Structure 1
Amino acid sequence: MLKKVFPFLTWLPTAKHTLKDDIIAGITGTIIVIPQAVAFAMIAGLPPIYGFYTAMITPIIAALFGSSYHLISGPTTAISIVVYSTLIKFVNPETDLEGFVSLALVLTFLAGFFQFVMGLLRMGKLVNFVSHSVIIGFTAGAGILIAFKQLKHVFGIEIPQGSSIVEIVSYIASHISDTNWYVFIVATGTLLIALIIKLFIKPLSRYYMLLAMVLGSALAIFLGGDTNGIETVGNIPSNLPPFQVPNFTLNNIKLLSSGAMVLALLGLIEAVAIGRAIALHTHQKIDGNQEFIGQGLSNMVASFFSSYAGSGSFTRSGVNHQAGARTPMSAIFASVFLMVVLLLFAKYASFLPKAAMGGIILLVGYNLIDFHHIKQVYKASGRELIVLFITLFGTLFFDLEFALLAGILTSFFFYMERTSKPNIAVLGADKNKRLVNIIRDDETKECSNLKIVRIDGSLYFGSIEKISNYFSKLYDDNKIQYILIAADGINFIDLAAAEWLTNEIKKWQKNRGGIYFAGLKLVSQDILQKGGFVDKIGNNIFFDEKKKAIHEIHKKINKPCLEKVFDECKTK
């Protein structure tokens, strides 16, 4: 019980044997997170220091209370853009930065609270219902959105805050003559340097973002820096995250609750998906509910230490695993080392040009577009492609909450549509007296007195219409007296289906021979038994095997079969 409440007690006693590997992985993680912390904070509309604070506090709590040994939490691209999109509706960071930060902390706590409660309620499997296509579409849309939002730092043009993609393109096109070419050279130069290191200098490719930012900063200094309008991120305080109670007012909670729920779900989806992806290689069992609790606690605690919302990071978690991390201590080491860096070297980070960050963020946005999986979805499924593009375009042109909800609902619609149309096959006997689908073998024969059908799918409120229509057609055929349902493929029967089934069986029992079942699973009989439906239709209509059912049904048939299809058939 103690290990369930404090999961770190499972691995902490063994961490002393893996210290070297975890320290190396932690150092690597610190190097990786420095440029990301600055970039993601800018995406969220916050000063760079808040990216550092989030990268210090969130990973420690998530590591202690999560379930994955390699997942690294902290600021992420998608989470940052959701934070910005949620808060910009209420306050503009350029005119009221203090108010923006205050709401960001409340939003972070609320998102963490929702995650924590969902974990306590054992709702970890919820993320399984968000289809892969929704995630691909959302991240691609977020990547494009991020890239367009950074164009003001690439061209050095003051684009109006809160502009849509169309407005950004229109504004740049009409003000292209205002471009600060020094800024443009720094931004594109940093981008090119990053690409060259990543693609052609493999030994350094892991640090391409950091190296590109350093060289981009050098390029900005060479071009004259502030003298030529190349702005820097400004002063970064050299201190640890200060304790600060978020501004919990009823009005703030009402304003931010819906956005916090979207943020909570997105964060959980990211974290669990990354944890499971790495677990495929490490063979570690991931506890989704514990991960919910870990992510929730990390955001709740972090909000009291001037940190904004975080989640699992694709990049840092992958690097952490590849760098040889053995336990969650690697995440804790990375956070501690980052604190040391901030205390000793914060003044150097203040020289980072916004243009260089803009160039890097363009690359971050591009990397979020998963062309491989988009192509795979395009080839594999038209319906999944629709889900993907609804989510993508919703992300680009509407609120992110709406985009995610639209994608999830569309995905559910297609799922319900598929399951509401179960396959119904008519079975006949082949020359070896085996029951097969009559459309697969032209030589199969049907008994004139017994119709055998196989239902592949569950009987529930959504599928009743199709099945009901099919049985109505069978009932209209006066020649059909008995029906045997091969029920091996029926996974469950809900209350609505049980009601319909009972009425249909009683109708056939009264006016015809009857309806019988063979091979119906015990779990599928659960509602029929507990709801008292079996008492109404009789327990004698259920058989374990089709052969036994055919034998018993033929005992009840009081007229000869036209052809001897089964051994039990009696002909003239």
Structure 2
Amino acid sequence: MYRNFISLLNLPKNYDIGFFKSDVLAGLTVFIMLVPQGMAYALLAGLPPVMGLYASTLPLIVYALFGSSRHLAVGPVAMASILVFSGVSLYAEPQSSDYIALVLLLTLMVGVMQLILGAINAGALIKFVSPNVISGFTSAVAITIGLSQLGNFFGIDLPSGNQIIPILTSLFENIANIHLPTLIIGMISLAILIGLPKFKATKCLPLPLIVVTLSILFVAYFRLDDAGVSIVGEVPTGFPSLSIPNIDLSAMQTLVPTALTIALIAMMESLSITKTLAKKDSPPLNVNKELRAIGLSNIVGSLFSAYTVTGSFSRSAVNHRTGSVSQVSAVVTAIGILLTLLFLTPLFYYLPHAVLAAIILSAVAGLINVRPLKYAFRVKREDGWVWIVTFAATLVIGFQWGLLIGVVVSLCLLINRLTNPHVVELGWDKKSGRYRNLQRFPNAIRDPHMILLRIDARIQFSNAEYIEKILENKIEKIKEKQKQPFDIVIDMAGVNDIDTMGIETLERLIQEYNHQDNVDIWLVHLKGQIRDLLQRAGWNVLYSEAIRYTSLEQLIKNRQLPTDYMI
């Protein structure tokens, strides 16, 4: 039984009572953090706050049973919440019964998509999404989330949506209507949440819970709700019963883009978190297993009135920092939330919306990160432009289109690099005693008896024609400068793969120039797998001379080519 338990929860083999105590402490710490965050994020998603607590129970247990990470803390998060709101608020009024029904259907769709993506091993797709796209998208979403909470923070009415221009316009129009008591509560809460962690003595304090507790007592004692401070009000007690989301095909069709966006973002977020927190003794990260586990969490959650969950970086970091050893900590957190639902929800009646807004603002502040942008522009400017395009498109057009535009731009740049590979002419550099790129080393000497070119890419159907034209252009330009006989040597050291079209391209070059007087083409530094492919194509019979020499040095020695230029 013990071994089965160990295997089920992916525990370390030496798991003992000491590890269990560490997990309990970490689980309780995350529980204290998750109660106010869960309620705040549900409100951000346009849902009753209690649904954030529903999303913090069964989904955590399901992930603990099926996930591969020992430290990932799943549950409601800001980004998924705002994506839910932006996708569903177009079709129903937030917090209405129709809206909740659509959110539960969306959660089920996200879970099924993630489960299918994991089943077909689609985790590899993440390799094609640039980190600069994710960074730009996350920063833009964080800004939008922050702006969306200014209504609750200032006590004024602001339009719902995920585009900043209407929000900012309405904010300036209603700036005179700011509710002063609400603003004071929000400002004090935000100052505590952001300012106190800078002091070492307060880093271990559960500041969100402290702020929630003090604000409830303050509002209840002075009855500030009668003065216009917006409060949460009655929070249902108990755990929801099993209910299957209403399967509406027309609604599913409209929600597909949002569901797919959330599924992919959840995949990338969770992968980033688990990679960051993985220890040396952690089990190997399985992206597809993560997808399946989070997908199952969302499917089960949708049956019990929970909305979309994914990995949380802040709570995962806290879970890891407080000594979590395994997903037992997640089970402890879920039990704490369940007990809160059963016995403690009446205590949240006087919780101000401004405090929940402050919790969200403090949480998303860390998501705005321009350091990758600065680094990208310093190293490779086109990566920086990917960040900017994604960021701007997400802010101005919206989340789904912003992410799609960023991915498309990133893929276009990738395709451009694949189809326009690096082909250079080499010359002898006396200082280093090596053949160097003549553009980077202008003092290198061009061999008068050879045209020496190097290809730094795979040769395949997407770039074969480009490589052929580049080689021909370089050869013709050099021929115009030197009238004496020469050989053409192609350094293949940078070629790791070649397809049939690439082989045909090389054959055409050989056939074209070998018909000219006193011109031979040689391929040197062929890697083993490339030589095998050429031999399968019949080169050992048709073009054996072209691949006869393994290195340039061997070619010069055996062909007895003059080497005066190297002295």
TM-score scaled by structure 2? 0.89
Q: Tell me by how many angstroms 1:365 deviates.
A: 2.7
Q: Say which is worse superposed, 425-434 or 262-271, in terms of deviation.
A: 425-434
Residues in 1 aligned to 2:531 and 2:106: alpha-carbon distance in whole angstroms: 46
Aligned pairs (5 A) from 1:474-553 = 474-476=474-476, 477=479, 479=483, 481-511=486-516, 513-524=519-530, 528=534, 532=537, 534=539, 538-542=543-547, 543-551=549-557
Q: Distance in 1 between matches of 2:240 and 2:14?
A: 30
Q: Residues 322-357 of structure 1: CA distance to partner in whole angstroms, max 9, x if unpaired?
A: 110111111111111211122121111232111211
Q: How many residues align?
A: 554
What is the aligned partner in structure 1 of residue 352 from structure 2? Answer: 353
Maintained 8 Å contact 2:136/2:387: yes
Q: Which amino acid aligns with 1:510?
A: H
Extract unaligned runs of 5+ from structure 2.
none
Q: Is the 8 A contact 1:453 1:486 kept in 2?
A: yes
Aligned match of 2:88: 87
Q: Which residue of 2 aligns with 1:570?
A: none
Letter in 2 for 1:544: T
Relative to structure 2, which stretch is displaced further, 380-389 or 340-349?
380-389
Return the offset for 1:129.
Answer: 2.5
- Give yes or no for contact 1:186–1:219 (8 Å, CA) kept in 2: no
Deviation at 1:27, TM superposition (A): 0.7
Structure 1 unaligned blocks of 5 or more: 556-560, 568-572
* Matching residue of 2:323: 324
- Conserved? CA contact 1:213–1:360, under 8 Å: no
Instruction: Report what 1:60 is aligned to.
Output: 61
Matching of residues 102-141 of structure 1 within 5 Å: 102-141=101-140
Match of 2:454 in 1: 454
Q: Distance in 2 between matches of 1:7 and 1:89?
A: 44
1:245 positional shift: 0.6
Structure 1 vs Structure 2: percent identity of aligned residues? 28
The 8 Å contact of residues 70 and 282 in structure 2, kept in 1 or not, is answered as no
User: For 1:277, what is the secondary structure of its paired residue?
Assistant: helix
- 1:334 paired residue number: 333
Moved more, 171-180 or 200-209: 200-209
Q: Are the structure 2 counterparts of residues 566 and 354 from structure 1 closer, same or farther at C-alpha, using a change threshold of 3 Å?
A: closer
Say whether the 8 Å CA contact 1:143–1:364 is kept in structure 2: no
Query: 1:15-49, CA deviations, whole angstroms, 9 ceiling, x for partnerless residues?
Result: 45421111111111111101110111111111111
Give the Cα–Cα distance (whole angstroms) in 2 for the partners of residues 363 and 551 of structure 1.
Answer: 70
74 and 536 in structure 1: CA distance in 2 versus 1, 3 angstrom threshold: farther
Calculate the aligned-residue CA RMSD, in Å.
2.9
Contact 1:194/1:211, CA 8 A, preserved across alignment: no
Tell me which amino acid in the other structure corresponds to 2:70.
Y
Q: Cα gap change, 1:487/1:280 in structure 2, threshold over 3 Å: closer, same or farther?
A: farther
Deviates more, 1:52-61 or 1:541-550: 541-550
Counterpart residue identity of residue 72, structure 2: L
2:79–2:141 CA contact under 8 A, matched in 1:
yes
Asked whether the equivalents of residues 107 and 256 of structure 1 are also in contact (C-alpha less than 8 Å), the reply is yes
- Identify the residue that residue 190 of structure 1 maps to in structure 2: 189
Q: Mapping of 1:40-79 within 5 angstroms? A: 40-79=41-80
Structure 2 CA distance, aligned partners of 1:566 and 1:190?
A: 74
* TM-score normalised per structure 1: 0.89
Judge which range, 319-328 or 344-353, deviates more: 344-353
Tell me: CA distance 1:514–1:297, structure 2 relative to 1, closer, same or farther (3 Å): farther
Task: Give the 3 Å change call, closer, same or farther, for CA 138–444 of structure 1 in structure 2.
Answer: closer
Matches within 5 A, 1:184-223: 184-200=183-199, 202-223=201-222
- Give the structure 2 partner of residue 558 of structure 1: none
Query: Which whole-Å CA distance do the structure 1 matches of 2:108 and 2:529 have between them?
Result: 42
Counterpart residue identity of residue 501, structure 1:
L
Q: Secondary structure at the match of 1:511?
A: coil
Provide the C-alpha distance between the structure 2 equivalents of 1:470 and 1:324, rounded to a whole number of angstroms.
Answer: 58
- 1:419-478 deviations in Å (ceiling 9; x for gaps): 444333333445699541163667755443332222222223444454223322244327
**Do 1:191 and 1:212's aligned partners in 2 also have CA atoms closer than 8 Å?**
no
How far apart are residue 370 of structure 1 and its match? 1.9
Hey, what's the Cα distance between the residues in 2 that align with 1:213 and 1:126?
41
**Greater Cα shift, 542-551 or 36-45:** 542-551
What amino acid is the match of 2:453? V
